[in-house]
Amino acid sequence: MKVLLTGGAGYIGSFVARELTARGHAVLVLDNLSTGRREAIPDTALDVADIRDGDAVMRSFARFRPDSLIHFAALKSPEESMSDPARYFEVNVSGTVNLLAAAARYGVERFVFSSSAAVYGTPQVCPVDETAPAGPQSPYGESKYLGERMIESQSATTGMRFACLRYFNAAGAATDGSLGEFAHEGSRQLVPQAVAVARGLLPRLQIFGADYPTSDGTAVRDYIHVEDLAEAHVRVTEGLDRPERSGTYNLGQGRGTSVLEVTGELRRISGAEIPMEFAARRAGDPAVSWADVGLVQRTFGWAARRDLQDILSSAWAWHTGVTAEA
Ligand SMILES: NC(=O)c1ccc[n+]([C@@H]2O[C@H](COP(=O)([O-])OP(=O)(O)OC[C@H]3O[C@@H](n4cnc5c(N)ncnc54)[C@H](O)[C@@H]3O)[C@@H](O)[C@H]2O)c1
């Protein structure tokens, strides 16, 4: 395959670029390097461009002529999107429109989209499956849902095959310690924050909500190892040779883990204290969100192979530069 990756210099995209290359596929990354880094994809062709720039997008497609597109580039903080919705729609929706235009003009056969569990909002039932109603609770979630709708519509008219992948919480680093998540302004994910506290770089971990109706009162999420995600993207993109496989798929571990379970396991792996401070719940944060992953397994034969311990020991090793004891 010839695969164009938007946002391929970012956290998840760089793992997918590496996995695709290892599988012998040709890869071009299109990224504005706003949060992504050149050094995450040292051996991959890169066009530094913005997906909001329709002409620049067309130029990359004209030169590379991809048969497949994996679209990661986006702003990704639900919280931040509440205070600046227009910016989120501009990047996540207008940017996707530019990519759909280029995909149509250059006859892209497969379109794989980074969607999010944020599309569900507060799931009524967990594990949540893809038939659950959408109920995004932030402009970020709305932008992902709109992206899904636009891609599906284009597929219906052009026959382009597609997969909208609703990721749950991506975390972890390469098992060999060579690649991981770079902290950047606005990154508020639990695992990098908890690791930073365990390393003494932050004074304490803020936990939003200790009174949820869960076993320990903290929110429950589905953490998926970034290497599992990377393998899923390759499997799904390769497997989109059949039109009937087009659709929306959850990507998670298929297991719910509370915030305190994460910090407890990280304390065990690192041997470090993790001072915590409990704050009020954040608006729009569901108590529990974890995935039913049956559909992607049945359709593409993919399932996550790594667990919470793999996630946390690899993240700890990446951030501290040492291999943690499992
Ligand atoms: N990390 C998660 O847990 C998670 C969960 C659900 C969905 N997602 C989605 O997965 C995708 C990748 O997330 P990530 O965690 O790797 O984030 P990231 O910030 O590391 O990667 C995003 C990449 O897109 C690039 N980018 C941003 N705006 C751009 C623009 N206008 N033009 C060109 N490039 C641009 C950034 O430079 C970066 O390389 C996003 O679409 C995000 O919404 C992530």
Out of 11, 88, 120, 140, pick the active-site residue: 140
Asked if 64 and 127 sit in the same domain, the reply is: yes
Query: Which ligand 1 atom lies nearest to the CA of residue 71?
Result: 41
Report the separation in Å between the CA atom of 277 and the middle of ligand 1, taken as the mean of its atom positions: 28
Query: Which ligand 1 atom lies nearest to the CA of residue 52?
Result: 31
Asked if 80 and 52 sit in the same domain, the reply is: yes
Q: Cβ < 6 Å from ligand 1: which residues?
A: 6-7, 9-13, 31-36, 50-52, 72-74, 76, 91, 95, 114, 116, 167, 169-170
Backbone phi and psi for residue 241, each to the nearest 5 degrees, phi listed first: -80, -10
Asked if 88 and 28 sit in the same domain, the reply is: yes
Alpha-carbon Rg for the chain, nearest whole angstrom, is 19
Asked if 137 and 208 sit in the same domain, the reply is: no
* d(C-alpha 311, C-alpha 158), whole Å: 39
Asked if 160 and 229 sit in the same domain, the reply is: yes
Report the separation in Å between the CA atom of 271 and the middle of ligand 1, taken as the mean of its atom positions: 31
| Nearest-CA residue for atom 34 of ligand 1 | 31
Judged against a pLDDT cut of 70, whether residue 25 lies above it is answered with yes
Give me the residues paired with residue 291 across strands.
128
Asked if 200 and 275 sit in the same domain, the reply is: yes
Q: Looking at the domain assignment, is residue 325 inside a domain?
A: no
Angle at 189 between CA 123 and CA 234, to 5 degrees: 75
Q: Choose which residue among 4, 5, 11 to substitute to test ligand 1 binding: the one with the highest number of ligand atoms within 8 A of its C-beta.
A: 11
Give me the residues paired with residue 205 across strands.
276
Q: What is the pLDDT of residues 174-215, one digit of tens each?
A: 999 899 987 665 567 899 999 999 999 999 999 999 999 999
Asked if 134 and 194 sit in the same domain, the reply is: no
The β-bridge relationship of strands 45-48 and 205-208 is unpaired
Report the separation in Å between the CA atom of 197 and the middle of ligand 1, taken as the mean of its atom positions: 24
CA 119 and chain centroid, separation: 13
Domain limits at 80? 2-170+224-251
Q: Residue 281 sits in a domain of what CATH number?
A: 3.90.25.10
Report the separation in Å between the CA atom of 74 and the middle of ligand 1, taken as the mean of its atom positions: 5
Domain count, the chain: 2
Q: Looking at the domain assignment, is residue 326 inside a domain?
A: no
Q: Where are the alpha helices (DSSP H) in the chain?
A: 11-22, 54-64, 78-83, 85-89, 95-105, 139-158, 190-198, 226-239, 259-270, 294-300, 308-320
pLDDT of residue 30: 98
User: Among all chains, which residue has been given the structure tokens 């719910």?
Assistant: 256
Q: What is the mean pLDDT of the chain?
A: 95
pLDDT of residue 185: 52
- Give the number of other Cβ atoms within 10 Å of residue 179's Cβ: 22
Judged against a pLDDT cut of 80, whether residue 137 lies above it is answered with yes
Query: Which ligand 1 atom lies nearest to the CA of residue 13?
Result: 16
Query: Which ligand 1 atom lies nearest to the CA of residue 31?
Result: 34
What are the Cα distances from residue 205, in Å, to 70, 79, 265, 275?
34, 17, 15, 6
- Report the Cα–Cα distance between both ends of the chain, in Å, rounded: 37
Q: What is the pLDDT of residues 148-180, one digit of tens each?
A: 999 999 999 999 999 999 999 999 999 998 999
Is the Cβ–Cβ distance between 170 and 311 less than 8 Å?
Answer: no
- Active-site annotation holds for 140: yes
Of the ranges 95-104, 215-224, 253-262, 313-322, which one carries the lowest mean pLDDT score? 313-322
Asked if 153 and 72 sit in the same domain, the reply is: yes
Asked if 140 and 262 sit in the same domain, the reply is: no
